[in-house]
Amino acid sequence: MLSLKLPRLFRIDQVPQVFHEQGILFGYRHPQSSATACILSLFQMTNETLNIWTHLLPFWFFVWRFVTALCMTDIWNDSYSWPLLVYMCTSCVYPLASSCAHTFSSMSKNARHICYFLDYGAVNLFSLGSAIAYSAYTFPDVLVCTTFHDYYVVLAVLNTILSTGLSCYSRFLEIQKPRLCKVLRVLAFAYPYTWDSLPIFYRLILFPRESEQTEATLYHQKHVIMTLLASFLYSAHLPERLAPGRFDYIGHSHQLFHVCVILATHIQMESILLDKTLRKEWLLANSRPFSFSQIAGAILLCIIFSLSNILYFSAVLYRIPEPELHKKET
């Protein structure tokens, strides 16, 4: 019979500091794993296994939702649905990028950084997809066709470029300045989310009566709560920081963060679908729908400049002397 030998796992003191995770003591993969070993680790309980699967499985669910919507849409003639399809496509991209980043991040020190650079770019692409869908379907009636509405997606594109650059830069501070690294990374994702959500906050806080008229309100509220919970888990490193070594394989904050993010995306998708359906007649009569060139231009600008950021910071990795990047100052 064929036997499969799974890769050996290591303690925190057996791997370079750049691979260390706060409160995680065991279950580390070899810091120079082969691609094959990384793929095999999907079927081995490591401290990354559930990080991978909590985004890999939802990726297929979102692909199914996207393909279903695609099959039910007259793509060439139903321009009203284009923003939804773009949003649903980007909701497939970020879970796949995340699961790949966690899968292959143990191939080398530089590979780890590059994997997460790509992950950050995918998250910011999803942020832009959310902004496009919000602009098309969720804006409060009083803000539709205002100057804010006209420039909302333009600034969302700029936010994704800045966020990708800032989050990539934060990785260079992980060892020497971990607190500043965490602050910059949280800020890099919090700012685009806050900008994207301004129309939602406006509806929920300033016009609650208008919001109560739609079934989407409850979903918008749940989405905000779930996103705040995900942000807290990402920042606080709970529960593993309270009991190091107890949550190495199951239950640590990054796994919980992944679950919350996926639930938040699912809830967000439902809210956008409801707004798209319930407000269709009013929006078609009172708003200016996106053209293909506007949507394609926004997405292409985001991809081009985000990839430029990723390529630049990846090149910098190989120019910085290793002790400066990977070793803590004494």
Q: Could you list the pLDDT tens digit for every one of the 330 residues in the chain?
A: 345 677 899 999 999 999 999 999 999 999 999 999 999 999 999 999 999 999 999 999 999 999 999 999 999 999 999 999 999 999 999 999 999 999 999 999 999 999 999 999 999 999 999 999 999 999 999 999 999 999 999 999 999 999 999 999 999 999 889 999 999 999 999 999 999 999 999 988 876 655 555 788 899 999 999 999 999 999 999 999 999 999 999 999 999 999 999 999 999 999 999 999 999 999 999 998 899 999 999 999 999 999 999 999 999 998 876 655 555 543
User: Which uninterrupted H or E stretch holds 78?
Assistant: none
CB count in 10 Å sphere of residue 61? 15
Q: Where along the chain do its domains lie?
A: 44-209+287-326
What's the Cα-to-Cα distance from 130 to each of 87, 125, 238, rounded to whole Å?
Answer: 6, 9, 28
End-to-end CA distance of the chain: 52
Q: What is the pTM of this model?
A: 0.94
The beta-strand segments (E) located in 31-172 are none
182 within 8 A of 167, measured Cβ to Cβ: no
CA distance 112 to 66: 30
Q: Which residues contact 86 (CB under 8 A, 6 or more apart)?
A: 129, 132, 133, 295, 299
Rg (CA), the chain: 21
DSSP states of 164-223: HHHHHHHGGGTTT-HHHHHHHHHHHHHHHHHHHHHHHHIIIII-HHHHHTSTHHHHHHHH
